[in-house]
């Protein structure tokens, strides 16, 4: 299948094979973007068929018969390759291990079952109907266990660790467990302290409703400020914000517009613009190849959160954002005073929803899911017991009990969609964002003053060479250590939230 004409060199042959798979993956991502933004409703069936075909053909290119031998041939000649090429080859092998470890029929079963379960979840969530969700979720978990066992054997990890490795190589339980234990201890008392401090603040003035057209204008202005090239990106509206990987020179992301609350679009735009900047800066020479892709989900999330949380919620940037909101959104300027924008942005939330959570609570939401999904995968937690266990753990962490399943264990689509082992990166990414941003500011004192002018250039200049350009050509630990001087820990994050929420002057 993969051998291109006139390409007898074993390394060139596997490069062609894996790059072809990468291009098909890119096509699939673009069709998914289209499905979320442009597609007529009637197109769902045909699009599903097209995307399934792309998945099947890509999987066969990567994990089919003969690929193991092709990789071995190339690996035998690895000594004569450049270091980056060797790293690329190593990533091909890793990709192959994941694809080849699991029998086709099991992959197909998971794809089919998760497709069905997402439809069930979509109905069950607003109706708080756990009963119709439970049985098919239990069936999907059985398949997930088989897949995890097969990958664990191939990778030499725990079953849960094998699932994590697919999304986030190098960010395994050994790294996550102690960090999550530390955060689970440290964050609740810190949250209590911050809430007590904020109790004395004046109530923020709510932002008035803003027409979508003005929010769209603001989102475009922000994307340009972040440094996206108008000829190389586009931003559109979609129900769930996301960014599109694997299309160098054509970086797309979506945001979500809520007329009643402009904060959603601003924060989603900054978040996705950060993901998109990582994709935009990946090395073109390794485009579509495993070594040329983003290092993993934690690093990806660190780039969205560097922008949304670290730079985007810095006092410097908020003081720039406030008059920009007043200018673009129009109407009464009072809610857009720097003081009110800071006050509104700094407030901790008292809700139950992960995606709306503040910076301090967010890791706890993730830790809750991490512990529960590990127990679900191992079988220690029965599906029938999930709602009660979730609510108990939530109450213990946050001091309040979810009023419904839609605000409890049915709030996220991930489990229905077959994502187990994915949640940790949301929190690990936040820690890495803090560690990178701290180091960047230490090395370049121009970063914060630039943010006060709405200019993210200096930060991305720093991150580009240290994170983006390295793609998957180095491992997670090496990337983090070389960029920040030490392995990933919660230290910088804890320093950051203490400084921002306890030491910064009140608005």
- Catalog residues that contact a copy of itself under the rule CB under 8 A: 1, 4-6, 19-20, 23-24, 26-28, 30-31, 34, 38-47, 49-50, 52-54, 56-57, 60-61, 64, 104-105, 108, 229-234, 246-252, 287-288
Least CB distance from residue 211 to a copy of itself, whole Å?
18
Least CB distance from residue 22 to a copy of itself, whole Å?
8
Cα distances (Å, whole numbers) of residue 402 to 284, 340, 359, 365, 395: 47, 30, 20, 12, 8
Least CB distance from residue 13 to a copy of itself, whole Å?
14
SS3 content of the chain, % helix, strand, coil (to 5): 70, 0, 30
Least CB distance from residue 51 to a copy of itself, whole Å?
8
- The residue among 105 and 199 lying less far from a copy of itself, judged by its C-beta, is 105
Nearest CA to 404 out of 417, 387, 416 is that of 387
- The residue among 52 and 186 lying less far from a copy of itself, judged by its C-beta, is 52
Pair 16, 7: CB distance under 8 Å: yes
Least CB distance from residue 250 to a copy of itself, whole Å?
3
Report the alpha-carbon distance of residue 457 to residue 470 in Å, rounded: 19
Task: With residue 205 as reference, give the H or E element that holds it.
Answer: none
Tokens of 214: 């003005």
- The residue among 289 and 346 lying less far from a copy of itself, judged by its C-beta, is 289
Dihedral sign (CA 108, 113, 116, 122): negative
- The residue among 109 and 120 lying less far from a copy of itself, judged by its C-beta, is 109
Nearest CA to 489 out of 275, 183, 274, 188 is that of 183
Pair 304, 288: CB distance under 8 Å: no
State the residue for tokens 């073109």: 284
- Among residues 91, 166, 272, 308, the one annotated as catalytic is 272
Q: How many CB atoms lie within 10 A of CB 476?
A: 22
Strand partners, 251: 233
- The residue among 50 and 478 lying less far from a copy of itself, judged by its C-beta, is 50
State the DSSP string of 37-99: HT--GGGHHHHHHHHHHHHHHHHHHHHSTTHHHHHHHHHHTGGGS-HHHHHHHHHHHHHHHHH
Report the alpha-carbon distance of residue 144 to residue 141 in Å, rounded: 5
Our answer to whether residue 272 is catalytic in this structure is yes
Least CB distance from residue 110 to a copy of itself, whole Å?
13
- The residue among 232 and 461 lying less far from a copy of itself, judged by its C-beta, is 232
Q: Which residues are catalytic?
A: 272
């Amino acid at each position: 299948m993969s051998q291109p004409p006139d390409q007898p060199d074993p390394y060139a042959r596997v490069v062609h094979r894996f790059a072809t798979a990468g291009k098909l993956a890119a096509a699939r991502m673009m069709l998914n973007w289209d499905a979320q933004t442009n597609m007529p409703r009637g197109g769902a069936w045909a699009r599903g068929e097209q995307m399934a075909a792309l998945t099947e053909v890509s999987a066969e290119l990567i994990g089919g018969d003969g690929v193991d031998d092709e990789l071995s041939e190339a690996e035998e000649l690895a000594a004569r390759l450049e270091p980056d090429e060797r790293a690329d080859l190593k990533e091909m092998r890793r990709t192959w291990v994941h694809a080849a470890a699991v029998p086709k029929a099991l992959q197909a079963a998971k794809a089919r079952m998760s497709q069905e379960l997402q439809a069930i979840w979509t109905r069950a969530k607003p109706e708080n109907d756990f009963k119709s969700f439970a049985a098919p979720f239990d069936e999907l978990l059985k398949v997930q266990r088989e897949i995890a066992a097969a990958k664990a054997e191939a990778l030499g990890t725990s079953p849960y660790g094998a699932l994590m490795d697919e999304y986030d190589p190098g960010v395994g339980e050994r790294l996550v467990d102690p960090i999550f234990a530390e955060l689970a201890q440290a964050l609740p008392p810190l949250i209590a302290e911050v809430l007590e401090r904020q109790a004395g603040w004046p109530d923020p003035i709510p932002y008035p409703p803003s027409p979508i057209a003005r929010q769209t204008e603001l989102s475009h202005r922000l994307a340009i400020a972040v440094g996206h090239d108008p000829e190389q990106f586009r931003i559109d509206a979609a129900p769930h914000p996301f960014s599109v990987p694997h299309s160098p020179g054509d970086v797309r992301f979506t945001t979500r517009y809520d007329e009643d609350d402009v904060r959603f679009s601003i924060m989603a735009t900054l978040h996705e613009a950060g993901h998109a900047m990582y994709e935009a800066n990946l090395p073109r020479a390794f485009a579509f190849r495993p070594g040329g892709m983003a290092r993993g989900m934690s690093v990806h999330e660190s780039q969205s959160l560097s922008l949304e949380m670290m730079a985007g919620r810095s006092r410097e940037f908020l003081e720039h954002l406030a008059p920009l909101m007043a200018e673009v959104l129009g109407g009464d300027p009072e809610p857009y005073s720097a003081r009110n924008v800071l006050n509104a942005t700094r407030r901790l939330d008292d809700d139950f929803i992960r995606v709306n959570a503040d910076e301090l609570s967010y890791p706890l939401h993730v830790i809750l899911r991490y512990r529960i999904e590990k127990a679900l995968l191992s079988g220690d937690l029965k599906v029938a017991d999930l709602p009660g266990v979730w609510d108990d753990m939530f109450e213990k962490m946050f001091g309040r009990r979810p009023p419904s399943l839609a605000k409890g264990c049915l709030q996220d689509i991930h489990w229905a969609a077959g994502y187990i082992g994915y949640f940790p990166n949301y929190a690990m990414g936040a820690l890495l964002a803090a560690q990178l941003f701290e180091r960047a500011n230490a090395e370049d004192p121009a970063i914060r003053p630039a943010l006060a002018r709405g200019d993210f250039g200096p930060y991305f200049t720093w991150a580009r060479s240290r994170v983006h350009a390295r793609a998957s050509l180095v491992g997670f630990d090496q990337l983090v250590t070389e960029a920040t001087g030490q392995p990933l820990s919660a230290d910088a994050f804890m320093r950051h939230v203490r400084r921002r929420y306890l030491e910064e002057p009140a608005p």
